[in-house]
Amino acid sequence: MMEPQQLDRVFIALSDTGRRRMVERLSRGPATVKELAEPVNMRLPSALKHLKVLEEGGIVVSHKAGRTRTYSIQPDAFGAIDDWLRKRKASMNAAFDRLVMAMEEIPEEEAEK
Amino acid sequence: MTALPVAHSTFVIERELPASPRHAYRFWSEAALKQRWNECHPDWVIEESFDFRVGGIEAKRWRMADGSEQTFRALYFDIVPQQRIIYGFDMSFRGQKVSASLATVEFLPAGSQTRMKFTEQLAFLGEADAMRHRIAGTEVGFDRLVEVVASEAASLH
């Protein structure tokens, strides 16, 4: 569970229209500062300040490659594990369906021969 | 980039199998019989080994249709013929570890059939970059964030 202070930072981060538009843009995929600043008519230093607030709110993460800093939505660890679990369960269930079929194709008596 | 925190989970799948535990066990312990059901895309497998004994390793490498590789590597910890199999394994996607698990398979007699119980306890290490991008996509981007915030807010009351 999130700490109340962390929750405050989330709400502060999302309390600004410009920042919400940045989050919406990032929910479609990673973007550079320039790509985030332009559609909301922000200058780069101002965009960077807003992105810092979003980063402190745990909403976005950034990484630098060469001179370019790219931002993306903070992957939600719980959402990601849910996704992976669904895949794991689906793949094991499908495998066990095939197991039942294989066992029907090769009954006990026949396999003993 | 800093690593995501490790998330843990457990899931159980129970199945009725149409023969005795003795027969069901063979479909896990014999390579030819296991191959009949364990493979969803036999044509993707590019490397395979199966050493079914305590301390033995089972390994597999696939190349999927889009060219990306996936691996599975298991070590058998405990084998009680016709009763249970315990193994640990990890899975990787494009060279990045995705999860490490402990799997327990139990075979319980149920009349002339077998009740098989598969329990997987897994440590999820985070998605490989390729998968992470998909998760950050529209499918679960802003909507999920709103959900998380809403549920966190609700839990404060």
Q: Do B141 and A26 touch (CB under 8 A)?
A: yes
Cβ atoms B12, B117 nearer than 8 A: yes
Is A31's pLDDT higher than 80? Answer: yes
Q: In this predicted structure, which of A1-10, A27-36, B74-83 has the lowest mean pLDDT? A: A1-10
Of B13, B37, B132, the CB nearest to A75: B132
Give the C-alpha distances (Å, rounded to integers) separating B130 from A86, B68, B144.
18, 10, 19
Chain A CB within 8 Å of residue B135 CB: yes
CB proximity under 8 Å: B 5-44 to A: 5, 7, 9, 11, 13, 15, 17-20, 22-24, 26-27, 33, 36-38, 40
Which percentage of chain A shows pLDDT scores above 90?
Answer: 32
pLDDT tens digits, one per residue of A62-107: 888 888 899 988 766 456 677 788 888 998 999 999 999 999 999 9
Element (H, E) at A89: helix A77-105
Q: What is the pLDDT of residue A65?
A: 82
**DSSP string for B7-57:** EEEEEEEEEEESS-HHHHHHHHHSHHHHHHHH-S-GGGEEEEEE--STT-E
Q: What is the pLDDT of residue B39?
A: 80
Query: What whole-number distance in Å separates Cα of residue A42 and Cα of residue A48?
Result: 9
Q: Do A61 and B1 touch (CB under 8 A)?
A: yes
Cβ atoms B27, B33 nearer than 8 A: yes
Q: Do A88 and B120 touch (CB under 8 A)?
A: yes
Query: What whole-number distance in Å separates Cα of residue A39 and Cα of residue A37?
Result: 6
Query: What whole-number distance in Å separates Cα of residue B77 and Cα of residue B75?
Result: 6
Cβ atoms B27, B45 nearer than 8 A: no
Is B143's pLDDT higher than 70? Answer: no
Instruction: State the count of interchain CB pairs (< 8 A) between A and B.
Output: 135
- As to burial, measured by CB atoms within 10 angstroms (0-12 exposed, 13-18 middle, 19+ buried), residue B154 is exposed
**Global confidence as pTM:** 0.63
Q: Do A98 and B137 touch (CB under 8 A)?
A: no
How far is CA A22 from its chain centroid?
A: 15
Read off the tokens for B107. 């075979």
Per DSSP bridges, beta strands B7-17 and B113-124 are antiparallel
Q: Pick the residue with more confidence: B137 or B35?
A: B35
- Let me know the angle formed at the C-alpha of A21 by A19 and A27, rounded to the nearest 5 degrees: 105
Read off the tokens for B146. 């709103």
Cβ atoms within 10 Å, residue B117: 15
Of B1, B36, B143, the CB nearest to A63: B1
Query: What whole-number distance in Å separates Cα of residue B97 and Cα of residue B80?
Result: 29
pLDDT tens digits, one per residue of B102-123: 999 999 999 999 999 999 999 9
Query: What whole-number distance in Å separates Cα of residue A27 and Cα of residue B138?
Result: 5
Average pLDDT for B43-68: 92
Rounded to 5 degrees, φ, ψ at A20 are: -65, -35
Task: Give the ipTM.
Answer: 0.77
Q: Do A7 and B155 touch (CB under 8 A)?
A: no
